[in-house]
Structure 1
Amino acid sequence: MSMRWGMTVPFGGVPLSGHAAVFSALADAGFTDAWSAEVAGTDGFTPLTLAAAWEPRLRLGTAIAPVFTRGPGLLAMTAAALAEAAPGRFQLGIGASSPVVVGDWNAVDFAQPFSRSRDVLRFLRSALAGELVDGDFDTFSVRRFRLERPPATPPPIMLAALRPGMLRLAAAEADGVILNWLAASDVATALAETKEAKPGFEVAARIFVIPTEDAGYARTVGRRMITAYLTVPAYAAFHRWLGREEALAPMWQAWQSGDRKGALAAIPDSLVDELIVHGSPAECRARVQAYADAGVTVPVMALTPTPELERGGLPALLDLIAGLGHHPA
């Protein structure tokens, strides 16, 4: 049984100022970790800073902080500050993100994502150890940077990875890997590329959870999520590598022709059920446990709103957290 059990924060419908009760409920329910994302909602660090202050039982992680959208020095300072606020409880997850987030929304050239990820990883390793960094990387140069407040406990650095090159980079140089948009049955394929990792290598996976017993609703939402993500070139290539070319080709073809309804209709229920966890809290908990059984050391749920949650508000959310919790024997 996994001893780590994560949840993505913050929650929609709850202001950041109201999350103290949510963080407490997570810890009470057996969640060990709160992980943030950084796309177009909150930034990745503010919710974790609040969690650091309000709930000392939780470990904290970013999944992910993009390597393009902050300069190397600012990313190091931000990570160091959170590591200082939550000593020994913070893990910095970094990754390339996507051309939309990096280029369209942050006006940064999304160039050489593999090399940029590698270079930022190497820079952070030195900077967070308190070392002076002065030199040229392949994708940027840094002149005489040293953190004024290096953390007493440098945070582990985890790298988001999909395909073999980035998975092998994570195994060789990072403290862990962050997986995304895969089924529990795909975990072994991904981890086969990380066999050279050192002991203690962590494997986090972001797992999309639609907590409702209305399978029709869950599959409708799941189809929209699949078309939004798996039409992105990096994720399309990832699923080709995983062996889903035949299953996803009709959706890709319809999408490329501009037929959005046809793309949604081309996704079979079986594929939604593979990639999206849905059902009762007990069923969702068991599905997430399957990822842990496959080798994920930090399964991290990412809840999608449901009509039940929207009607029930914060009390319904707190009840759901209790139902999704994890209490190892």
Structure 2
Amino acid sequence: MTNRLQVGMSFDRSFPPAFVTEAARALEAGGAQQLWVIEDCFFTAGPSLAAAALTVTEQLTVGVGILPAVARTAPVTAMEIATLCGLGPGRVLPGVGHGVQAWMAQMGVRPLSPLTALEEVMVAVTRLLAGDEVTSHGHYVDLDAVRLEQPPADPPPLLAGVYGPKSLALAGRVAGGVVLAEPASPSYVRRALEQAGRAPGDPDFHVAVFGVVCVRKDRTEAYRTMAPWLADQLSRPRATVKALPFYDDLAARHADKGVDGLVTMPAEWWTELAPVGTLDDAAAHLQALEDTGVRSIGMFPRPDVEVARTQLAEVIELARR
């Protein structure tokens, strides 16, 4: 099935660059389909990590989540993506987003209108990757007859890494899909697609999501491991968490019982939230995502290289189910 969920690991921003080739090789050898690299300021660069992963693999798809729209000019972003496509034809999933605005301000590139900037960049990069000659005199993209010398033969969908309703509506108009931040539950995916004006399973709209993974033989042990992470999510809830159908009860439970209350919350809440629990629990979460039209998932291991090495096996086992 061409629309079957493609399963992979996300490369935490804190990991040393050299670990990316080890992870990529292990994922491909084990039968996982994807590796997602992260570009957050001021850690490691997404295209560099992606290039390294592509050159040591033959089948692994490498996603880039995400390139801030204004950190590079639109032609340079297009050149980066086209170069990756040349290294691994058909194996690149590039994401572009607003970037964290405080970081953009630190670099002196914060736009007055992030929405306008993202739309202009998405449109220009999409056209450049298609091989078009682009002239554009917008607020943030000003090009005079620019054309890539080596556009990809088969351009990948350009995904929008966004989560606000206005940004999702923009993605539905101009992007080839979306990258949804963790924890991307099936509930949140359905809401995001509704806001994007796209139907679940739209073959022209690639939905990729991030999640956190923790698999144990004893699901309570997995819940105990991940409860502090969930408590942190609840301390500054974003749309991804507020979309949970049980969010109000979850927040009240945390306020009343703290982290211990999260450990003992209903198992079905955890299964909705993330691939956490037993292997069967995690697989059920992935199946629910696939049923909503998700085509790619990058699962974050714990942000510790030694722990992540052991969790590669969890990702691989889920990918092979």
Would the TM-score normalized by the shorter structure come out above 0.5? yes
Query: What residue in structure 2 maps to residue 258 of structure 1?
Result: none
Separation (CA, whole Å) in 2 of partners of 1:196 and 1:34 = 25
Deviates more, 1:189-198 or 1:129-138: 189-198
Q: Indicate the percent of aligned positions where both proteins have the same amino acid.
A: 25
1:209 and 2:213 are equivalent in the alignment: yes
Separation (CA, whole Å) in 2 of partners of 1:145 and 1:73 = 8
Separation (CA, whole Å) in 2 of partners of 1:323 and 1:268 = 30
Matched length: 307
Separation (CA, whole Å) in 1 of partners of 2:314 and 2:294 = 23
Alignment of 1:195-234 (within 5 A): 195-196=197-198, 199-212=203-216, 213-227=221-235, 230=237
CA 1:47–1:6: 2 relative to 1, 3 Å: farther
Q: What SS does the corresponding residue of 1:177 show, helix, strand or coil? A: strand
Query: What residue in structure 1 maps to residue 169 of structure 2?
Result: 168
Partner deviation per Cα, 1:284-318 (whole Å, 9 max, x = no partner): 23323321122212122122247xx74x674x244
Separation (CA, whole Å) in 1 of partners of 2:257 and 2:142 = 44
CA 1:264–1:107: 2 relative to 1, 3 Å: farther
CA 1:33–1:90: 2 relative to 1, 3 Å: same
Separation (CA, whole Å) in 2 of partners of 1:128 and 1:13 = 30
1:131 and 2:129 are equivalent in the alignment: no
Contact kept, 8 Å, 1:29 with 1:321, in 2: the verdict is: no
Deviates more, 1:66-75 or 1:164-173: 164-173
State which of 283, 287, 292 in structure 2 corresponds to 1:294. 292
Deviates more, 1:84-93 or 1:205-214: 205-214
Deviates more, 1:216-225 or 1:43-52: 216-225
1:119 and 2:113 are equivalent in the alignment: no
Separation (CA, whole Å) in 1 of partners of 2:250 and 2:74 = 37
Unaligned runs of at least 5 residues, structure 2: none
CA 1:214–1:131: 2 relative to 1, 3 Å: closer
Task: Measure how far apart 1:78 and its partner are.
Answer: 0.8
Separation (CA, whole Å) in 2 of partners of 1:279 and 1:218 = 9
Partner deviation per Cα, 1:3-35 (whole Å, 9 max, x = no partner): 232324435897443544432331243321222
Separation (CA, whole Å) in 2 of partners of 1:87 and 1:28 = 19
Contact kept, 8 Å, 1:94 with 1:158, in 2: the verdict is: yes
State which of 86, 89, 94 in structure 2 corresponds to 1:87. 89
Query: What residue in structure 1 maps to residue 277 of structure 2?
Result: 279
Separation (CA, whole Å) in 2 of partners of 1:68 and 1:188 = 29
Task: Measure how far apart 1:180 and its partner are.
Answer: 1.9
CA 1:220–1:153: 2 relative to 1, 3 Å: same
Separation (CA, whole Å) in 2 of partners of 1:118 and 1:159 = 10
CA 1:65–1:321: 2 relative to 1, 3 Å: same
Separation (CA, whole Å) in 2 of partners of 1:137 and 1:13 = 36
State which of 59, 62, 65 in structure 1 corresponds to 2:61. 59
Contact kept, 8 Å, 2:279 with 2:318, in 1: the verdict is: yes
Partner letter of residue 207 of structure 1? G
Partner letter of residue 209 of structure 1? V
Deviates more, 1:131-140 or 1:30-39: 131-140
Partner letter of residue 128 of structure 1? L
Query: What residue in structure 2 maps to residue 324 of structure 1?
Result: 318
CA 1:144–1:250: 2 relative to 1, 3 Å: farther
Q: What SS does the corresponding residue of 2:213 show, helix, strand or coil? A: strand
CA 1:3–1:302: 2 relative to 1, 3 Å: same
Partner deviation per Cα, 1:147-187 (whole Å, 9 max, x = no partner): 23222222221112323332232222221122223322232
1:150 and 2:158 are equivalent in the alignment: no
Partner letter of residue 114 of structure 2? P
Task: State the Cα RMSD in Å.
Answer: 3.4
Separation (CA, whole Å) in 2 of partners of 1:317 and 1:13 = 16
Task: Measure how far apart 1:99 and its partner are.
Answer: 1.7
CA 1:196–1:23: 2 relative to 1, 3 Å: closer
Partner letter of residue 138 of structure 1? H
Separation (CA, whole Å) in 2 of partners of 1:196 and 1:11 = 29
Separation (CA, whole Å) in 1 of partners of 2:260 and 2:252 = 8
Contact kept, 8 Å, 1:248 with 1:267, in 2: the verdict is: no
Q: What SS does the corresponding residue of 2:235 show, helix, strand or coil? A: helix
CA 1:214–1:297: 2 relative to 1, 3 Å: closer
Query: What residue in structure 2 maps to residue 26 of structure 1?
Result: 27
Query: What residue in structure 2 maps to residue 108 of structure 1?
Result: 109
Q: What SS does the corresponding residue of 1:178 show, helix, strand or coil? A: strand
